[in-house]
């Protein structure tokens, strides 16, 4: 079996991936908090770990990989949004979940094996809090249950930094009910009479803290020790650090996640994405501007996942041009048979080396070039099949070439109108009215429609 190498945040180095059980490779990735449309940061994380999922399935077999990514549907941001919109909480979360699934589907993100919602696992969270209290790692105060960081000698285990350094500039909730400012909430009180979201518990009516849900849900599906825990690098502290702390203290005989994999920060035009800077984009913002979803996916994969990714519209246009090149090569051999073949060895090798997607994409360029040079039917079939199999490992080239070129036109003409124009042009040519035929071609070109005359007829595509 081929070796995979991964950059492990825990050890701060690239190391060989050795699953706990090769017949049950397990990965957990923090999903979105559902109160608004998915933004580019949400999408980038989903695409990166979808590529990891695809690679793990290819290497170990789909039946031997379990991927879990959660939905956070209980959070102060959700409560605030519900109050602002004057809607029930479940309406906000259900609608936002639906949007998220649609957006990720447009980016060709595969569904994880399990997509648990936090509100469905309150009993498991309560049991986890009870374990931490029993083990002496938590305490109650003014209706809260808090984790005591001083009870864990190696707190800072994941980030490898002293507590004071971790707290500097971090978003840590301060409260007079804490023994230590770094102690974090496991359970917080809620006002039942005011209709605040909450559940009954041994400590009164309330709701779980943010960090608690991932520990409970990952253990439920993957066990107390599993292989990969992923997310954006902005989650390393406090979220993932606190997950480590509560999970390892609740289950001291287990290691929790063996490999911690983090995607680099997303920026826009060289700055952190922020509504205050006016550079905050959702997936639907990008698609609504007539940019293809597949171009966005390719743009994310064009930078190594571990590095910061700088989103620009020029970069998105470049990704679209690359896909034009790939799909144009496929369009020329549209009739060539697609066979079941292995991906290109170089692509697999690049992806196994800490998911080196930029290098893998460079090999797709070479294969597309080979496809353009193919002459015999057998050669066209072989190279076309290899290109598609290699691209599939990264979730690319899933569309038919004709669909790609016709899906996003900038004109207001329907497909039927375009076809009618082409028929009028053909009629003009039959009548030897070449001036009219040329005028129709130019009219379509102005609308972003390019015609290609072939012995079989006239094809059209987006410019």
Q: What is the pLDDT of residues 168-217, one digit of tens each?
A: 655 566 667 899 888 999 999 999 998 899 999 999 999 999 999 999 99
State the average pLDDT over residues 353-362.
98
Ordered domains of the chain (ranges, CATH): 5-263 (3.40.50.620), 268-405 (1.20.120.640), 409-462 (no CATH)
Percent of the chain with pLDDT over 70: 96
Confidence of residue 349 (pLDDT cuts 50, 70, 90): very high
Q: Residue 407 pLDDT > 80, yes or no?
A: no
Q: Could you give the C-alpha distances from 446 to 2, 451, 459, 460, 463, in angstroms and in order?
A: 51, 12, 17, 13, 10
The pLDDT value given to residue 299: 98
The pLDDT value given to residue 252: 96
The pLDDT value given to residue 463: 58
The pLDDT value given to residue 356: 98
Mean pLDDT score of the chain:
93
Q: Residue 150 pLDDT > 80, yes or no?
A: yes
pLDDT tens per residue, range 220-259: 999 999 999 999 999 999 999 999 999 999 999 999 999 9
pLDDT tens per residue, range 383-404: 999 999 999 999 999 999 999 9
State the average pLDDT over residues 316-330.
97
Comparing 278 with 448, the larger pLDDT belongs to 278
pLDDT tens per residue, range 112-124: 999 999 999 999 9
The pLDDT value given to residue 408: 57
* Pick from 29, 119, 13, 103: nearest CA to 67: 29
The pLDDT value given to residue 434: 84
Q: Which pTM does this prediction carry?
A: 0.88
The pLDDT value given to residue 416: 80
The pLDDT value given to residue 322: 98
Q: What gap in Å lies between CA 191 and CA 207, rounded to an integer?
A: 10
């Amino acid at each position: 079996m081929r070796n995979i190498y991964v950059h492990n945040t825990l050890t701060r180095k690239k190391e060989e991936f050795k699953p706990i059980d090769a017949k049950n490779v397990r990965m957990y990735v923090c999903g979105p908090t559902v109160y608004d449309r998915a933004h580019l940061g949400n999408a980038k994380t989903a695409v990166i770990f979808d590529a990891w999922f695809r690679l793990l399935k290819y290497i170990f077999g789909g039946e031997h990989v379990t991927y879990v990514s959660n939905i956070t549907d209980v959070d102060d941001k959700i409560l605030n949004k519900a109050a602002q919109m004057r809607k029930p909480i479940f309406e906000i979360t259900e609608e936002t979940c639906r949007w998220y699934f649609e957006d990720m589907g447009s980016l060709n993100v595969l569904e994880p094996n399990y997509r648990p919602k936090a509100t469905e696992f309150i009993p498991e969270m309560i049991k986890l809090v009870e374990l931490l209290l029993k083990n002496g790692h938590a305490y109650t105060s003014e209706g809260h249950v808090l984790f005591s960081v001083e009870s864990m000698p190696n707190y800072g285990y994941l980030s490898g930094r002293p507590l004071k350094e971790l707290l500097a500039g971090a978003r840590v909730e301060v409260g007079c009910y804490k023994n230590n400012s770094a102690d974090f909430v496991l359970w917080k009180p809620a006002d039942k009479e005011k209709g605040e979201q909450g559940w009954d518990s041994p400590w009164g009516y309330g709701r779980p803290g943010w960090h608690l849900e991932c520990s409970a849900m990952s253990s439920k599906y993957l066990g107390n020790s599993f292989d990969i825990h992923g997310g954006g690098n902005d989650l390393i502290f406090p979220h993932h650090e606190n997950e480590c702390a509560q999970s390892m203290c609740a289950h001291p005989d287990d290691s929790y996640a063996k490999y911690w994999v983090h995607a680099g920060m997303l920026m826009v035009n060289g700055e952190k994405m922020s509504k205050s800077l006016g550079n905050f984009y959702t997936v639907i913002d990008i698609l609504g501007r007539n940019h293809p979803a597949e171009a966005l996916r390719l743009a994310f994969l064009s930078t190594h996942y571990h590095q910061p990714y700088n989103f620009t519209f020029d970069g998105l246009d470049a990704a679209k041009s690359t896909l034009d090149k790939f799909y144009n090569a496929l369009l020329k051999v549209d009739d060539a048979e697609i066979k079941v073949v292995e991906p290109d060895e170089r692509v697999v090798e690049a992806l196994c080396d800490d998911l080196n997607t930029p290098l893998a994409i460079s090999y797709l360029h070479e294969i597309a070039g080979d496809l353009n040079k193919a002459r015999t039917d057998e050669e066209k079939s072989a190279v076309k099949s290899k290109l598609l199999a290699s691209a599939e490992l990264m979730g690319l080239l899933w569309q038919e070439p004709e669909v790609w070129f016709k899906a996003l036109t900038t004109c207001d003409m329907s497909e039927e109108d375009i076809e009618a124009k082409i028929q009028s042009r053909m009629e003009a040519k039959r009548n030897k009215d070449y001036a009219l035929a040329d005028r129709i071609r130019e009219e379509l070109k102005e609308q972003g429609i390019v015609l290609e005359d072939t012995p079989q007829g006239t094809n059209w595509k987006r410019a």
